[in-house]
């Protein structure tokens, strides 16, 4: 192999050449006293660079030998630019458009495929350019920042890098690595950030090569984690390797042009992780980071992060006595009476809409024989995330999702085209065997419920059903005070079914989105393997993004379960399309998001503490109890503080407990049948009759429904 030959030929000289480079200088120990792996830094990294450069040189010579004939590059506005095949890059085209664009464009899209700005164009194409203000730009920026973090970690601690993506929540990035006995903490961050700052100042280019499997295995032969990834890649997968400065990393890319774009960089936290999420595998350290193109945005982010810490749902949930978790059932939360009030309100809100929107609520078993999961495909692809049981020498699994059970319900008798669409809704408890290190409050749990529903419809009904789900999402999220973004995720590289079916489904989703009338983006190639989907990300009051709602088309489960309905021509049977749909998503996760979104100040309709009656003295205690009971009878949550404390203290504690209304009653109110009403966080008060107060409560509740 070429790279092996070059490695042997230059073996004697490479140590001398690389020992003089800045990244090869090795300290004996880190400030924490942890010795670096000198062999790893002094030999492995130079070896990788040597191999990278050899392959890069060979590929460049090949490209230079190809004919550089003219190509047409079409921009989104229809403008056509001229370029040279195998020579012109998206960056060259950006420079022709404007200096500003060339300075700010982070990534491009060539015929729907994300493309490095400096990677040569190969043929006539449609070209889009993205800055940090786009999702594509931000994701690429943060993924590239993960490489800067990886470089810093590898250079500082001589660790073995594992994976380094941008986070799924779309804010920042992390890198997992194996450090042996070293445990990272906040005290290590200054050194990591200093090494990252050095990489940024050097303006290291992100360089790309394509390699064979054998070449990849040779480059990363000293890292068993990368070797495992390479061996698991499909045989027809193009393997790419990127370099920035001393870091050579296995990565599909793409990346920003160079490290100098990352003007602001910070480490956020360190935590433990398991290789591939498996508790039986190697224990890793995960470092989270955030970066921006300028310091101002980083400062704003860190300020918002500190603000968000004050409203962490776990902290607020404890203060308000809403829920708790016990070590005897990790990942499964106990909802206390006040927390259960909110939980039930959320489910009741969705159920009230089911009546209006044509959903039928069903209940399905929690446990199924594994034969069901073999039919659905989950036994092969999801088994490790399931809780399994052996009953009478047969294997069963607790359900991690409702869809296979709903397929059985559709299947239990002959269906007619007249019945479709059938909209099945299910709040059944779900269980997923999440790794203990991944459990995070209510946002990542083992036991949860979803406002789960599956719509079985004909192909010609897809558009109307999708439009109906979008209307439902819009209605609910407006009530919660969320803004949201929509993306259409289309057919991925690996997919099941016929292209014609996918094209029809994508066209129906496109038409539904256009009729819906809100801005949306296309997310090429990011659909599920079983069908296209619409991704909905919400933004809360702290401007954080979350994925809650789900809208996915599925052609595969109906096929796996052989679902059929009699067509209008009763001699013919047709297969339905299945739409997976959730509005809240996990009720637990939505509970956590709303608690932080409202900063613990629940709106009246959702509040577990809607009113408290505070008597001024013992003389008005009986009247306070009467008022409380009247409010209860009207269907609202009310308490009475009948302690002998001063009224000022009662009011103050009621405000801290986040009661929406504080009702003060004394002898005068008792004699007139009125209450003195204080609204949470407002100093002023007014006097109202009980009837007027209850009408006000009814009006405020109705405003949210």
Which sequence positions are flagged as catalytic?
A: 403, 432, 450, 452, 454, 533, 580
- Would you say the C-alpha torsion 242, 243, 249, 254 has a positive or negative sign? negative
Name residues whose C-beta falls within 8 Å of residue 410's C-beta, 6 or more positions apart in sequence. Answer: 422, 424, 456, 561, 563, 576
Length of the chain: 705
How remote is the C-alpha of 657 from its chain's centroid? 32
CA-CA distance, 579 to 469, in Å (whole number)?
10
Q: What DSSP letter does each residue of 395-454 carry, written as one string?
A: EEEE-S-SHHHHHHHHHTS-EEGGG-SEEEEE--EEE----GGG-BTTTB-SEEEEEEEE
Sheet with 239-244, edge to edge strand ranges: 207-211, 239-244, 247-250
Do residues 169 and 545 touch, judged by C-beta distance below 8 A? yes
- Name which of 561, 492, 484 is nearest 521 in CA terms: 484
Do residues 476 and 584 touch, judged by C-beta distance below 8 A? yes
Name residues whose C-beta falls within 8 Å of residue 420's C-beta, 6 or more positions apart in sequence. Answer: 456, 457, 458, 461, 565, 576
Q: Which helix (H) or strand (E) holds 14?
A: helix 11-19
Residue 78 DSSP one-character state: S
Q: How far is CA 679 from CA 625, 654, 702, in A?
A: 20, 11, 18
CA-CA distance, 120 to 83, in Å (whole number)?
10
CA-CA distance, 506 to 526, in Å (whole number)?
12
How remote is the C-alpha of 575 from its chain's centroid? 32
Helix (H), strand (E), coil (C) string for 198-235: HHHHCCCECEEEEECHHHHHHHCCCCHHHHHHHHHCCC
Q: Which 3 state secondary structure label does DSSP give 547?
A: strand
Question: Burial letters for 292-313: b for 16+ Cβ neighbours within 10 Å, e otherwise?
Answer: bbeeeebeebeeeeeebeebeb
- Name which of 179, 110, 171 is nearest 146 in CA terms: 171
CA-CA distance, 637 to 337, in Å (whole number)?
11
CA-CA distance, 442 to 333, in Å (whole number)?
8
Q: What is the largest CA-CA distance in the chain?
A: 102
Question: Burial letters for 238-254: b for 16+ Cβ neighbours within 10 Å, e otherwise?
Answer: ebbbbbbbbbbbbbebb
Q: What values do phi and psi take at 99, rounded to 5?
A: -65, -40
Burial (0-12, 13-18, 19+ Cβ within 10 Å), 392: exposed
Do residues 51 and 215 touch, judged by C-beta distance below 8 A? yes
**Tokens standing for 125?**
């194409």
- Name which of 206, 207, 237 is nearest 57 in CA terms: 207
Residue 538 DSSP one-character state: E
Residue with tokens 């007619």, as numbered in its chain: 416
CA-CA distance, 493 to 279, in Å (whole number)?
31
- The strand pairing partners of 73, in sequence order, are 81, 125
């Amino acid at each position: 192999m070429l790279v092996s030959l070059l490695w042997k030929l230059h073996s004697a000289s490479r140590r001398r050449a690389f020992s003089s480079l800045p990244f090869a200088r090795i300290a004996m120990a880190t400030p924490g006293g942890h010795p670096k792996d000198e062999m790893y830094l002094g030999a492995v990294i130079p070896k990788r660079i040597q191999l990278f450069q050899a392959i890069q040189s060979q590929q460049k010579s090949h490209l230079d030998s190809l004919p550089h004939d003219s190509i047409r590059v079409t921009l989104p506005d229809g403008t056509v630019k001229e370029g040279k095949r195998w020579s012109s890059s998206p960056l060259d085209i950006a420079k022709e458009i404007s200096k500003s664009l060339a300075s700010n464009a982070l990534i491009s899209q060539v015929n729907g495929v994300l493309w490095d700005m400096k990677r040569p164009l190969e043929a006539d194409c449609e070209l889009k350019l993205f800055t940090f203000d786009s999702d594509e730009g931000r994701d690429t920026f943060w993924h590239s920042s993960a490489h800067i973090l990886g470089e810093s970690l590898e250079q500082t601690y001589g660790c073995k890098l594992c994976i380094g993506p941008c986070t799924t929540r779309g804010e920042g990035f992390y890198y997992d690595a194996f450090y042996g006995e070293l445990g990272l903490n906040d005290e290590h961050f200054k050194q990591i950030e200093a090494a990252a700052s050095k990489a940024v100042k050097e303006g290291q280019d992100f360089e790309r090569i394509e390699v064979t499997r054998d070449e990849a295995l040779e480059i990363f032969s000293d890292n068993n984690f990368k070797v495992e990834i390479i061996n698991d890649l499909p045989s027809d997968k193009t393997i790419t390797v990127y370099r920035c400065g001393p870091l050579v990393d296995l990565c599909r890319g793409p990346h920003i042009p160079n490290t100098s774009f990352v003007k602001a960089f910070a480490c956020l936290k360190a935590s433990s992780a398991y290789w591939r999420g498996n508790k039986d595998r190697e224990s890793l350290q995960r470092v989270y980071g955030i970066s921006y193109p300028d310091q101002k945005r980083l400062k704003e982010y860190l300020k918002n992060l500190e603000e968000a810490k004050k409203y962490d749902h776990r902290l607020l949930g404890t203060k308000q006595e809403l829920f708790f978790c016990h070590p005897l059932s990790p990942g499964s939360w106990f909802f206390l009476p006040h927390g259960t009030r909110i939980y039930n309100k959320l489910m009741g809100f969705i159920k009230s809409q089911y009546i209006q929107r044509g959903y039928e609520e069903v209940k399905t078993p929690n446990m199924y024989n594994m034969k069901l999961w073999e039919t659905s495909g989950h036994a092969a692809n999801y088994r490790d995330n399931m809780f399994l049981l052996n009953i009478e020498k047969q294997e069963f699994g607790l359900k991690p999702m409702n869809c296979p059970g709903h397929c059985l319900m559709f299947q239990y008798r002959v269906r007619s085209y007249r019945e479709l669409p059938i909209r099945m809704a299910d709040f059944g408890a779900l269980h997923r065997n999440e790794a203990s290190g991944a459990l995070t409050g209510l946002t990542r749990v083992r036991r949860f419920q979803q406002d789960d529903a599956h719509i079985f419809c004909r192909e010609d009904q897809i558009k109307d059903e999708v439009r109906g789900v979008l209307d439902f999402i819009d209605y609910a999220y407006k009530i919660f005070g969320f803004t949201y973004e929509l993306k259409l995720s289309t057919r991925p590289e690996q997919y099941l079914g016929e292209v014609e079916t996918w094209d029809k489904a994508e066209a129906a989703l496109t038409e539904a989105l256009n009729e819906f009338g809100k801005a949306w983006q296309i997310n090429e190639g990011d659909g599920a393997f079983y069908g296209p989907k619409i991704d909905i990300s919400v933004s809360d009051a702290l401007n954080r993004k979350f994925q809650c709602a789900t809208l996915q088309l599925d052609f595969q489960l109906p096929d796996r379960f052989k679902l059929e309905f009699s067509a209008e021509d009763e001699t013919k049977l047709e297969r339905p399309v299945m739409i997976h749909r959730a509005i809240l998503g996990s009720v637990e996760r939505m509970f956590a998001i709303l608690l932080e979104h409202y900063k613990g100040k629940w709106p009246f309709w959702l509040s577990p503490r809607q009113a408290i009656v505070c008597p001024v003295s013992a003389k008005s205690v009986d009247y306070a109890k009467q008022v409380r009971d009247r409010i209860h009878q009207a269907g609202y949550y009310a308490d009475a503080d009948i302690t002998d404390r001063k009224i000022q203290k009662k009011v103050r504690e009621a405000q801290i407990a986040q009661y929406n209304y504080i009702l003060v009653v004394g002898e005068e109110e008792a004699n007139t049948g009125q209450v003195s009403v204080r609204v949470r966080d407002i100093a002023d008060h007014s006097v109202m009759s009980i009837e007027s107060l209850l009408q006000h409560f009814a009006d405020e509740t109705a405003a949210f429904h």
